[in-house]
Amino acid sequence: MASLAFDAETSARFDDDQQDFGGQALQFRIRLSSGDHDLAAAIPRIYEGLPARYGGPNPSSRDVPRKPFNPPASASAERIAQMRKAYDERQAELQKIPYVVVWGDRETHEAMAVRKRAGEGVMSMSLDALLAEIAEANPSGS
């Protein structure tokens, strides 16, 4: 039996929030007798070395670069503002921020758009209600 180690920490990339082994290969030669043979490949510790935000064992110590915001050159100012808002919301989800307050022309302290990470969608709530909910979810104050 032959075994080779593949060091994902130095070879893998984490662009676009996914682990990519594309183009990575290990080559080896082994002498086989004639006849049928089975070949098996396994990645036993595939979840090790992932970015720390995934919460897996032995997280990677490398910084994951933030994907830059690049709006199309032909987009209007209003469209760029919409795209920027969606981009910021996606980045907040990737960072596992539990609440995102969406503040625009229509929001006030009494009625602002709040998006929860739990997937409940965008809801309207007052600043006092949001602070009370955060305090209730985190009674230790940390």
Per-residue pLDDT of 23-64, as tens digits, reads 566 667 778 889 998 877 766 777 777 777 777 788 887 777
Cα radius of gyration (the chain)? 23
pLDDT at 78: 92
Q: For residues 24 and 122, which has the higher predicted lDDT (pLDDT)?
A: 122
Q: What stretches of the chain adopt beta strand conformation (E)?
A: 99-102, 112-116, 122-125
What is the rounded CA–CA span in Å between residue 52 and residue 36? 43
What is the rounded CA–CA span in Å between residue 78 and residue 65? 27
Backbone angles phi, psi at 124, to 5 degrees: -95, 130
> C-alpha 4: how far from its chain's center?
30
Give the tens place of pLDDT for each residue, 61-95. Answer: 777 777 788 888 999 999 999 899 888 878 777 77
What is the rounded CA–CA span in Å between residue 52 and residue 60? 6
pLDDT at 20: 55
Give the closest residue to 87 by CA, choosing from 68, 73, 106: 68
**Locate tokens 């110590």: which residue?**
61
